[in-house]
A and B are shown apart, each in its own frame.
Chain A
Amino acid sequence: EVVLTQSPGTLSLSPGERATLSCRASQSITNFYVAWYQQKPGQAPRLLMYGASNRATGIPDRFRGSGSGTDFTLTITRLAPEDFAVYYCQQYGSSLLTFGQGTRLE
């Protein structure tokens, strides 16, 4: 099983600031098969990024994904008030899909 460790657990920032969220895998993930999701209270997760750096439909360009191998990053260049939520990474490089434990952006 590929274990994904997200850091930090909680990130405290203000609107307009830059957020950097990390996702580290216990083994190398093939072909950049990492996705990122945003979840707000009482809602289902929403797909933000796939293939490590591809924005999903309708996702603003302030969201940027990068990384390879075992280290992946989600960057939000200028935080908007609606960006405060929990973010999860997911790998799909192995049969058992796994998620990170989440980073809370407050």
Chain B
Amino acid sequence: QVQLRESGPGLVKPSQTLSLTCSVSGGSIGSGDHYWSWIRQRPGKGLEFIGYIYYTGSTYYNASLDGRLRISIDTSKSQFSLELRSMTAADTAVYYCARGVAILAGRYYFDFWGQGSLVTVSS
């Protein structure tokens, strides 16, 4: 069974950078069949796609976050990571990592999710 687990700080100060890591077990992160993604959910709100990384290192970012966002992958550690710069209160959310099942290039749905990591932006 594939499992994903987010790790990182629960509290970030305004203007600082958030760094989260997703550790994947039970399956290969180096498979071309999947997109490794980040999704967030603001308190009491719906789901927002942040971006993905493919095992080759190619990425796609939600334009609303582009310029602040970087997603990277370390296949040797079965991990992928998110860095979000210049954090504000509006970035307070539960951040999920998820595995996307590739249908076509960049077209996928999410079959496995991490449990989520609550990140609060506050001084």
The residue from A31, A44, A92, A100 contacting B109, defined by CB atoms under 8 A apart: A92
Which one, A35, A98, A101, contacts B110 given CB within 8 A? Answer: A35
Tell me whether B55 is interfacial, beta carbon within 8 Å: no
**Cβ proximity bits A29-67 to B, threshold 8 Å, 1 near / 0 not:** 001010101000001111100100000100000000000
The interface residues of chain B, by DSSP majority, are classed as strand
Q: When chains A and B are docked, how far (Å) is the Cα of A77 from the Cα of B67?
A: 45
Question: Number of A interface residues, CB 8 Å?
Answer: 23
Contact A92 B111 (CB under 8 A): no
Shortest CB distance A8–B (Å): 15
User: How close is B38's CB to chain A, nearest CB, in angstroms?
Assistant: 11
Contact count A vs B, C-beta below 8 Å: 52
Does chain A have a CB within 8 A of B31? Answer: no
A19 to chain B, nearest CB (A): 19
Q: How many residues of B contact A (CB 8 A)?
A: 21
Report if A99-B49 is in contact (Cβ < 8 Å); known contacts: A44-B115, A44-B116, A92-B103.
yes
| B106–A95 touching, CB < 8 Å | yes
Evaluate whether A44 and B113 lie within 8 angstroms (CB atoms) in the complex, with A33-B103, A33-B107 already known. Answer: yes
A90 interface hit (Cβ, 8 Å): yes
- Distance to closest chain A CB from B114 (angstroms): 7
Contacts A33-B103, A95-B60, A96-B63 given; does A45 touch B110 at CB 8 Å = yes
Residues of B within 8 A of A (CB): 46-49, 60, 62-63, 96, 98, 101, 103, 106-111, 113-116
Q: Which residues of A are interface residues toward B (Cβ below 8 A)?
A: 31, 33, 35, 37, 43-47, 50, 56, 88, 90, 92-93, 95-102
For the A-B complex with A95-B60, A97-B49 known, give 9 more contacts whose Cβ atoms are closer than 8 Å.
A35-B109, A37-B110, A44-B96, A44-B98, A45-B110, A45-B113, A88-B46, A90-B110, A96-B49
